[in-house]
Structure 1
Amino acid sequence: MEIYRPPGVRMSGDISTFMKQFSAPGTNGHTVANDLRLTPSPEPAHHKNKVQFHGSQSKSSEKKSALKRSKSFTGREDMTAGSAHTDGFPAEYQDLVKRALHDPNSLTSLQLMEIVRVMCSKAVESIHHAEPAAQMCFAIIEREKGETFLESLLNSCREWFSERDKLLRSVSGAGSRRWIAYITFLAWLYLWLKSRQRQILVANGPSGTPAAADRSLSLVMLLYECCELILQPPSVTCLAEIECLRFVLTSIGQQLEQDSSQRMQHLVAHMRDAFINPSISAQIRKALLELVELHASKWQLDLPQSMYYFPYTSVDRK
């Protein structure tokens, strides 16, 4: 699979073998649903009974993101922002990515745009690559004085969505894997930007909010669009895509509603409509009912609700 790039954007070097140099670690022999082992971001102490993605109760004492880290491009799980492993990239991009992580301001606009294309193409290959790609993007955003990388990243995400039927949902042999990876990548980007926004708001107040945090609204709209598409045929009959929807809403549904309560009301209405679709399975119907009840319960299920839904909708199956 060649890296997607819109007309007029040139990329130096021979990158036709880019995707061939990587294989999604841990994906052989596993379903997409089994790979979505992610839990919600931490909430304040009064949400301590909120149910995690696996059906267990979240721990309010956790300081770092409760979204379980996926494997890095090289199969390692110890990647940290600013010191990410770059040896998983083709040789012609390793130095460029390292420079961007260290000082993106030393690169030209075309070089930053080129890195965005490489990152996005890698992120949609597998859900295992969504988190490290988002983390590396965020590390660059934090260090960039301008907005070239950020603007290019958001534009690229919108372009991938616009071309989703050609690039994500109808790729030969990929099934819904690339589509789910794309949505996971958006969720991770949104999570990082919202986390940074909260830090800036606490430190400097609303006037100190950086452009990167303000642009999270663009990701909000994209995530809503993706969720609504999942609730339409044929996606609504695909368990893996419904589990992806479940991941998004159990992880960041509360934040999405805070950013756009009207869109969330529309999404919940779509879930109710999908619930009565006679063509969906009992397992999918129960997952949709769980999400409707989760929203009605202010994004926290009590223990009886958790015990009722967990055995049937958990994606952490052996």
Structure 2
Amino acid sequence: GTKDASARVLKRKLSGRAKRKAGADPSSVDLEKVANIIVDQSLKDCVFSKEAGRICYTIIQAESKQVGQSIFRRSLLNRLQQEYKDREELRARSPQAWICYVTFICNIFDYLRVNNMPMMALVNPVYECLFRLAQPDSLKKEEEVDCLVLQLHRIGEQLEKMNSQPMDELFSLLRDGFLLEEGLSSLSQLLLLEIIEFRAADWKMTDAAQKYYYSEVTD
């Protein structure tokens, strides 16, 4: 009846819209605006920030097929740099947006490649974000410790390959925090110990560690 008719009309409209989009010139898309929308959404939504790297990688791959085009990549990196400069204000204004930003920049580092290598331009900003999460005031916040450990699981090994000295310094801070810092929750202590052991085992999780840490977390 009416429902079926409405569904058919909606389907026709969507189909027409898809055809018009398919026929449009890809170069007419405002890629700077797209980059800003992706960053804005990533700062609001931590689930999206974990997937955004893949989306950006796909757009950059498509863009690179148009000779001399790097509008999206340039706009994305400019925006990341701008947010990076204001990171303390971002953290003070919205701890959630700060965690989303760290997740996003680490995700971009994980996905974006130049000559099959991570982007050197992102190494220092990523390290600085991780160092910020390793400061005493951050270690007292479970969300920030959780974010730090997740990022190190994801990109720690490739980040260390790009520049190992800051990783040694970062883990020195984490060990000090674990041993000396008062006011850490038991979950934060567990997460820190787990990541310290994970790196000590060459960025691999041993079966014994998996059983110990993840049975502790679920208990």
TM score, norm. by length of structure 2:
0.78
Q: Does 1:169 align with 2:95?
A: no
2:107 counterpart residue number: 188
- Compute the displacement of 1:165 (Å): 2.6
Which of 187, 209, 212 in structure 2 is aligned with 1:305?
209
Q: Secondary structure of the residue that 2:49 maps to in structure 1? A: helix
Corresponding residue SS for 1:169: helix
Residue 52 of structure 2 is matched in structure 1 by: 133
**Structure 1 residue 291 and structure 2 residue 214: aligned?**
no
Backbone CA RMSD of aligned residues: 2.7
Q: 1:301 to 1:137 in 2, by over 3 A?
A: closer
Residue in 1 aligned with 2:159? Answer: 256
User: How far apart, CA to CA, are the structure 1 residues paired with 2:102 and 2:57?
Assistant: 16
* Aligned-partner SS, 2:91: coil
* Structure 2 unmatched runs, 5+: 1-13
Q: Which residue of 2 aligns with 1:151?
A: 74
Q: Which residue of 1 aligns with 2:3?
A: none
Superposition misfits of 4+ residues, deviation over 4 angstroms: none
Q: 1:280 to 1:132 in 2, by over 3 A?
A: closer
Distance 2:154 2:104 in 1: 13
Q: Which amino acid aligns with 1:131?
A: K
CA change 1:128–1:193 in 2 (3 A) is same
CA distance in 2, matches of 1:215, 1:117: 22
Alpha-carbon distance between aligned partners in 2 of 1:285 and 1:309, rounded to the nearest angstrom:
11
Greater Rg by CA: 2
Corresponding residue for residue 19 of structure 1: none
Q: CA offset at residue 222 of structure 1?
A: 1.9
Match of 1:53 in 2: none
CA contact (8 A) 1:154 1:218 kept: no
* 8 Å contact from structure 1 (residues 180, 241) kept in 2: yes
State the Cα distance separating 1:215 from its structure 2 match.
Answer: 6.3
Q: Distance in 2 between matches of 1:232 and 1:287?
A: 15
Higher relative contact order structure (alpha carbons within 8 Å, sequence separation ≥ 6): 1
2:38, 2:79 → 1: CA distance? 10
Residue 214 of structure 1 and its aligned partner are, at CA, apart by 5.6
Equivalent position of 2:138 in the other structure: 235
Q: Quick one: which of 161, 170, 177 aligns to 1:267?
A: 170
Structure whose residues are more often helix by fraction? 2
Tell me how far apart the structure 1 counterparts of residues 182 and 195 of structure 2 sit (CA, whole Å): 18
| 1:122/1:133 contact within 8 Å kept | no
Distance in 1 (alpha carbons) for counterparts of 2:208 and 2:36? 46
Q: Percent identity?
A: 28
1:74-129 deviation line (CA, Å, top 9, x unaligned): xxxxxxxxxxxxx9xxxxxx99xx79xx83xx148xx3322222211111101111
Paired residues in the alignment total: 195
- Deviation of 1:248 after TM superposition, in Å, equals 0.8
